[in-house]
């Protein structure tokens, strides 16, 4: 008697994806689960076991795709960055700095992962992975810098430097506007509420100041 393909796959839990299409689909399933968990919980509170459970996989099966938590979330970040760049390109020509700020605000997963990229995610990479990831960052950043150049008429190196300053502002604004829960409670009432800030208006103000300096500088 021939077994049902679906039943065969589910027997004893989800089996290893066999074809390249299956592997890609399984990988996207894992990335979706990881992104969903990260949207609700802090990175430090997540484990691979959590992601495996949300993916419907065993932890051993998850390790066949991602060898540690950092590599997994680097992959989540890469997907988020690619989506951000595609979104920005679809809206070209950009109105600076408003469209740049708007695209960042519209992609909170990219923003939140950017904030921990250098202090958490990259710490788990080996030399080969780090070099490949930096190459990815360079390529995606160059795509955005090209859009900035088209909108501003500034030289490529100046546009890239402006983008890096925007990224630095993004990281700082995200941290300042997303404090730990205990700090958030402490700042709930005057006079400590002076330290509270909302991400979007804070980011927009920083990018506007950076853009003003960028446009008034010499070519």
Q: Is 30 exposed, middle or buried (0-12, 13-18, 19+ CB in 10 A)?
A: buried
Last residue of a domain, one of 51, 66, 81: 66
Residue 4 is assigned to a structural domain of this protein = no
Q: Using omega within 30 degrees of 0 as the cis cutoff, is the peptide bond preceding 58 cis?
A: no
Do residues 125 and 29 share a domain? no
Do residues 60 and 105 share a domain? no
Do residues 56 and 147 share a domain? no
**Predicted pLDDT at 56:** 95
d(CA 146, CA 156): 7
Give residue 83's pLDDT band: very low, low, confident or very high (50, 70, 90).
very high
The b-or-e profile of 156-177 (16+ CB within 10 A means b, else e) is eebbbebbebbbebbbebbeeb
pLDDT tens, position by position, 87-110: 999 999 999 999 999 999 999 999
Contact by Cβ (8 Å): 61, 118: no
Q: Which residue is it, tokens 């992959």?
A: 75
Give me the number of domains the chain comprises.
Answer: 2
Q: Identify the CA nearest to 25 among candidates 139, 1, 33.
A: 33
Q: Identify the CA nearest to 84 among candidates 67, 66, 101, 71.
A: 101
Give residue 19's pLDDT band: very low, low, confident or very high (50, 70, 90).
confident
Residue 6 is assigned to a structural domain of this protein = no
Mean pLDDT of 3-24: 55
Do residues 88 and 196 share a domain? yes
Give residue 17's pLDDT band: very low, low, confident or very high (50, 70, 90).
low
Contact by Cβ (8 Å): 214, 158: yes
pLDDT tens, position by position, 145-175: 999 999 999 999 999 999 999 999 999 999 9
Residue 90 in tokens? 């679809």
Do residues 121 and 89 share a domain? yes
């Amino acid at each position: 008697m021939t077994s049902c393909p679906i039943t065969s796959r589910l027997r004893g839990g989800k089996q290893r994806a066999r074809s390249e299409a299956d592997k890609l689909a399984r990988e996207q399933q894992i990335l979706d689960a990881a992104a969903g968990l990260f949207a609700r919980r802090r990175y430090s509170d997540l484990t691979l076991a959590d992601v495996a459970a949300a993916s419907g996989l065993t932890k051993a099966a998850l390790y066949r795709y991602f060898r540690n938590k950092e590599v997994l979330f680097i992959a989540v970040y890469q997907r988020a960055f690619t989506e951000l760049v595609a979104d920005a390109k679809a809206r070209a020509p950009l109105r600076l700095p408003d469209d740049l700020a708007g695209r960042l605000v519209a992609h909170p997963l990219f923003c939140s992962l950017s904030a921990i990229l250098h202090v958490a995610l990259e710490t788990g990479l080996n030399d080969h992975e780090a070099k490949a990831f930096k190459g990815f960052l360079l390529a995606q950043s160059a795509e955005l810098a090209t859009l900035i150049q088209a909108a501003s008429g500034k030289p490529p190196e100046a546009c890239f430097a402006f983008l890096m300053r925007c990224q630095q502002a993004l990281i700082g604004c995200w941290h300042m506007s997303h404090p730990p829960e205990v700090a958030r409670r402490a700042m709930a009432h005057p006079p400590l509420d002076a330290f509270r800030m909302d991400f979007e208006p804070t980011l927009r103000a920083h990018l506007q100041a950076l853009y003003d300096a960028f446009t008034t500088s010499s070519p």
